[in-house]
Structure formats: C-alpha cells, structure tokens
C-alpha cells in the first residue's frame, strides 16, 4: 500500500530546484505557476539563499509548486497513472495544499493563488509579534510536553516519538533553550513565526473568505487531514480544514498512525524530500521510504510506486457517490435506511466509534441509497466506502 506525502515549510534548501529546471517541460510549468502566483519560483528555487527562501511568502508557494510539478513528472497522466496505484495522500502543514491539489480537490492554479495568499497572510500575522518555532528531538514525550507548557510555549507540531515542535515568542523560546527537557536536543526551524498557534489566528478569517470563493471536488483517492489523522472525503471540508489548520497544531503523529492502521508499506515523499521520510524511518518501522529529490531518481521512483501501489477502494468509482469512513472503528447505523431511501443534504447515515473518537458520517449532498457496502456493527478502516448514493434524485 502506497502513500504519497508532501513536506511543509522548513524542508526547502537553496538551489533544490536547479536540477529539475534542466527539463524544459518542468521549467515551462514552473514559469506558468510563477505567473499564477506572482512569485519568481525559478529564481527562488535556484539562486536565492537560505534566509531569502525562509520568508513565508516565498517558501510556501515554492514548496507547493515544486511538489505539484514533480508529481506531473512522476505521473505524466495522473488520471490514468496515479489514481490507479495511489492508495493514500497526505501533506505536512502547507504540504496539505499540495496533497489536496494532487488528488483533485482544487486545481494547481487555485492552489497557487491560495498558497500565495496563505503565505502573505501568515507572514503578516507572524510579523505582529517576534515569534518562532523549535524542534525538540528526543527526550521523554511527557517531559517534553510538560517543559513546553512550563515555558508558555505551544506544541505546534507533533511529528511522532522523539520529534515535537515548540512554538511561541522568541523570549520564551530563549528561556526554553536555557532550560531544555532532559535528553532532548533543540533545533531552531527556518520559519518566520509561530505557525499553527493563536499567534497567526488573524490569517484564518482572511483565508476563510478566499476559500469560500473556491470551487472544490471530492478527492480522487483517500486524503489524510493534519488536524486528527482522519480520512476526509468531502472537498469542501478538506479546504475548510486547510484554512483552520493555520492556527491549530499539526498532528502528523496521528496521520502516521492512520497510515499504519491501513497497512501502508511504502511512503514516497515529493520534493524537496527528506523530512517526512526521515520521520517515518524512526516512527514507522517496516515501512519502506523513498525521498524524491532529483529528476535522475524518477525511474526508481516509478518502480517504487509499482511495487507498493495497489489503488485505493475509490479507484474506478465516481467519488461523489460514495460516503466513506473517516477513521478506523466500528460503524453504527443512525436509523434503518434501506436501499432506495432518499437522503436530504446533511442527513446523518451513522457514526464511526473508536477508543479515541466518535464521529458522525453524513451525506453532504443527499441522494438515494443505491447500495450499503457495510452493515451495522461492522469494523471499518479509514477511507473505506460505507454506502453508495445516486445523486440525481432531488430531495424536497
């Protein structure tokens, strides 16, 4: 089982796009996305120094564009090549925009305009206070979280055992550096502010307005959310979560748990790759990883995809007719809803319950029940189809 992942801010390094731009087709696509985003991506990806590409307004469009264009190099015909084999997709922080566009929730052009505005809004919000982020590597998890709280900081990213990111004011980070958790190493991150905290909450309202104007489609394959590691199959909800994620913690640990629940055997990371596959090697033993960094790896990457890719349960189906499970758990029907029953938009069909959560499953667009794919009390996995709906019937 294959998962494709896209990294977040801090993964960028000076010159990482240079070998990719030797391909004229890649260069043309980058130039087009530069025009769409009004950011000179070729320049920043080849000639700019580390401090320049640390700027949020530059780093975020650069990351999304590189991931999307590299995906087209890997899968020249996504509808025929990619969705036949990709079982799952996810992105870390801004990488969620890459992932959402990659599975068809929004277009590449919509993604670039949105990420341009996201980067600007987050940079402006971060500039209001001198804040930053710091990786905490190692240490006992409970002691690390207690130390973060003691110094008035926030665990903005939980990336699994041995890697939590603390965020807050520079003054609090200084005090944290002077009094670190036992057996932990602190590494300042190349970001412009305390992202995924209340310090950048001002950006959420602005981005929410933009998101409401963007048309969406349901994902073409299973897509994980940073908020809680759940599968999200409604395109509008995907975009809403990307907006609110700006000021809420990234739970990559829960994303990796879902990957393990599903039985992922291979993780391929899009460029600038290395961060997420590095985390996976520590946190997901037995899962093979591939960090796609340069175009001379493309043939090996395609072989990796063929080795691990199976194609998710949505492959070959019109995804807007399916309701899927958001997580692993037990499915319980809300009421007796036989084949042929008509659902109004928003009707609840049941809930999925686990030890951690109890989530409702509703039909956002309504429809007629064509076929139940599970029964009351069945165990279900993340992204498993529950019921097939016919959308043509108008429910009064």
List, as one string, the DSSP characters of 222-242. Answer: EEB-TTTS-B---HHHHHHHH
Q: Which helix (H) or strand (E) holds 79?
A: helix 78-81
Instruction: Give the pLDDT of residue 396.
Output: 37
Residue 388 confidence (pLDDT) above 50: yes
Q: Whole-angstrom Cα distance, residue 315 to residue 279?
A: 28
Model confidence band, residue 184 (pLDDT cutoffs 50, 70, 90)? very high
The residue length of the chain stands at 396
Residue 193 confidence (pLDDT) above 80: yes
CATH topology of domain 319-390: OB fold (Dihydrolipoamide Acetyltransferase, E2P) (2.40.50)
Tell me how far apart the terminal alpha carbons of the chain are, to the nearest angstrom. 42
pTM for this structure? Answer: 0.86
User: If one looks up domain 2-125+198-308 in CATH, what number appears?
Assistant: 3.40.366.10
| Tens digits of residue pLDDT in 328-340 | 999 999 988 888 8
* Counts for the chain of helices (H) and strands (E), in that order: 13, 17
Nearest by Cα to 281 from 161, 126, 143: 161
| Tens digits of residue pLDDT in 17-27 | 999 999 999 99
Instruction: Give the pLDDT of residue 146.
Output: 94
| Tens digits of residue pLDDT in 307-363 | 999 876 665 455 567 899 999 999 999 988 888 889 998 899 999 999 889 999 999
**DSSP bridge partners of 358:** 353
User: If one looks up domain 130-188 in CATH, what number appears?
Assistant: 3.30.70.250
* Catalytic (active-site) positions: 93, 196
Q: Whole-angstrom Cα distance, residue 286 to residue 155?
A: 28
Strands 288-291 and 266-269 turn out to be: parallel
DSSP state of 274: S
| Tens digits of residue pLDDT in 199-246 | 999 899 999 999 999 999 999 899 999 999 999 999 999 999 999 999
| Tens digits of residue pLDDT in 360-374 | 999 988 888 989 999
Domain ranges of the chain: 2-125+198-308, 130-188, 319-390
Main-chain phi, psi angles of 370, to 5 degrees: -90, -40
């Amino acid at each position: 089982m294959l998962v494709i992942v896209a990294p977040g801010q801090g993964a960028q390094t000076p010159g990482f796009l240079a070998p990719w731009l030797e391909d004229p087709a890649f260069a043309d696509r980058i130039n087009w996305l530069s025009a769409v985003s009004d950011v000179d991506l070729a320049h920043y990806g080849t000639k700019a120094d580390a401090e320049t590409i640390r700027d949020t307004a530059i780093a975020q469009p650069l990351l999304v564009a590189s991931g999307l264009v590299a995906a087209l190099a890997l899968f020249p015909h996504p509808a025929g090549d990619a969705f036949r084999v990709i079982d799952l997709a996810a992105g870390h922080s801004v990488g969620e925009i890459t992932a959402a566009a990659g599975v068809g929730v929004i277009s590449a052009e919509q993604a670039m305009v949105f990420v341009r505005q996201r980067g600007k809004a987050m940079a402006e919000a971060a500039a209001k206070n001198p804040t930053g982020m710091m990786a905490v590597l190692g240490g006992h998890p409970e002691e690390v979280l207690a130390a973060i709280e003691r110094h008035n900081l926030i665990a903005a990213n939980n990336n699994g055992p041995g890697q939590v990111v603390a965020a807050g004011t520079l003054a609090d980070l200084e005090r944290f550096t002077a009094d670190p958790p036992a057996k932990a190493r602190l590494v300042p991150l190349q970001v412009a502010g305390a992202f995924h905290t209340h310090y950048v909450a001002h950006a959420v309202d602005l981005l929410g307005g933009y998101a409401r104007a963007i048309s969406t489609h349901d994902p073409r394959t299973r897509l994980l959310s940073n908020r809680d590691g759940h599968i999200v199959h409604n395109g509008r909800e995907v975009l809403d979560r990307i907006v609110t994620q700006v000021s809420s913690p990234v739970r990559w640990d829960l994303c990796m748990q879902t990957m393990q629940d599903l039985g992922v055997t291979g993780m391929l990371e899009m460029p600038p790759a290395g961060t997420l596959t590095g985390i996976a090697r520590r946190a997901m033993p037995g899962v093979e990883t591939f960090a796609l960094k340069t175009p001379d790896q493309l043939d090996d990457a395609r072989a990796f995809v063929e080795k691990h890719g199976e194609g998710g349960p949505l492959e070959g189906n019109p995804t807007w007719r399916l309701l899927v499970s958001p997580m692993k758990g037990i499915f319980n029907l809300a009421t007796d809803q036989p084949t042929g029953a008509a659902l109004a938009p928003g009707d609840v069909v049941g809930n999925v319950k686990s030890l951690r959560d109890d989530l409702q499953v509703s039909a956002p667009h309504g429809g007629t029940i064509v076929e139940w794919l599970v029964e009351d009390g069945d165990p279900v996995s993340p992204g498993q189809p529950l019921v097939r709906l016919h959308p043509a019937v108008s429910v009064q």
